[in-house]
Amino acid sequence: MGDLLKGKVAIITGSGRGIGQATALKFAKEGAKVVVSDIDALPAEETVGRIIDSGGEAVSYVGDVMVPDFAQGIVQKAVDTWGGLHIIVNNAGFTWDGMIHKMGDEQWDKILNIHLKAPYRIIKAAHPYFCNAAMEEIEKKGMATARKIVNVSSVAGVGGNLGQVNYSSAKAGIIGLTKTMSKEWARYNVQANCVAFGFIDTRLTQDKEKGIEVDTGKEKVAVGVPAKQRDLFIRMIPMQRPGTPEEAANTILFFASPLSNYVSGQVLICGGGFSM
């Protein structure tokens, strides 16, 4: 067990699987108390179980991040359980691809809602436990505890991507949200940063023929990448392989830890050498 995040309370959305799960496990190993959140109860509870079995502290919060009262609920879960909140990782999301001339409003809205509106709501709900708490600390000690917002973007949000007009727009938007929060809450010693992932090996990047689906709250949407396109993407990566969820989680850990206490408003591409 490490102590980079000792005593910190963290919310991680979409942490039942993939990058989110790897991040939750890594945070717990570094001493954080973690609210594991997923739309599905089983993976959330499995992640919590793994953390507890390894000597860490975690609770689950099951729900759809797109539901209006989710944000207040998950923040309250952290505060009611451990008395405060120090780290927000906005990771939950999925892809629902299509060319713009074939895309309907629901397909557009759903992706913007999960990747941009949900993080906005969660950050807003955290205001009393980030900013008000910081003001009290400044009055008592002269300086606030460093608190962290880590948003997950994509190389698609940095440079666009064919067939992902909704996803690219949402992931570009989260960069704008991140940069604005780095200015609005800087006086409260809040650092807001963003990781833009390239091709990470998760269920969202598996061969589409495997028939993997994600629950959008109302329906299931097929995810994955056609085999030929997947192989092409991998060949375009300078390191010639996808990243692992654990490698992705390392970049989130950096932004959540004291190592980044004077770093804010930044976008880090985690893409195996891929750059824009």
Q: Whole-angstrom Cα distance, residue 7 to residue 85?
A: 10
The region of weakest confidence among 46-55, 123-132, 165-174, 213-222 is 213-222
Closest CA to 29 of 1, 50, 4, 60: 1
How many whole angstroms from its chain centre is CA 177? 13
Q: What is the mean pLDDT of residues 35-64?
A: 98
Q: Residues 6 or more apart from 233 whose CB is under 8 A from it?
A: 199, 225
What is the DSSP track for 47-101? HHHHHHHTT-EEEEEES-TTSTTHHHHHHHHHHHHHS---EEEE-------B-GG
User: So what's the pLDDT on residue 70?
Assistant: 98
Under DSSP, is residue 9 helix (H, G, I), strand (E, B) or coil?
A: strand
- 120, 167, 188, 262: the active-site residue: 167
Mean pLDDT of the chain: 93
Model pLDDT for residues 4-17, shown as the tens digit of each residue = 999 999 999 999 99
> Could you tell me the residue ranges of all domains in the chain?
9-203+242-270
The full length of the chain comes to: 276
Closest CA to 39 of 8, 4, 75, 15: 15
Residue 232: band (very low, low, confident or very high) from pLDDT cuts 50, 70, 90? confident
Cut 0.95: pTM above it: no
Task: Respond yes or no: is residue 167 known to be catalytic.
Answer: yes
* Fold of the CATH domain 9-203+242-270: Rossmann fold (3.40.50)
Question: For the chain, what percent of residues have pLDDT higher than 70?
Answer: 93
Residue 68: band (very low, low, confident or very high) from pLDDT cuts 50, 70, 90? very high
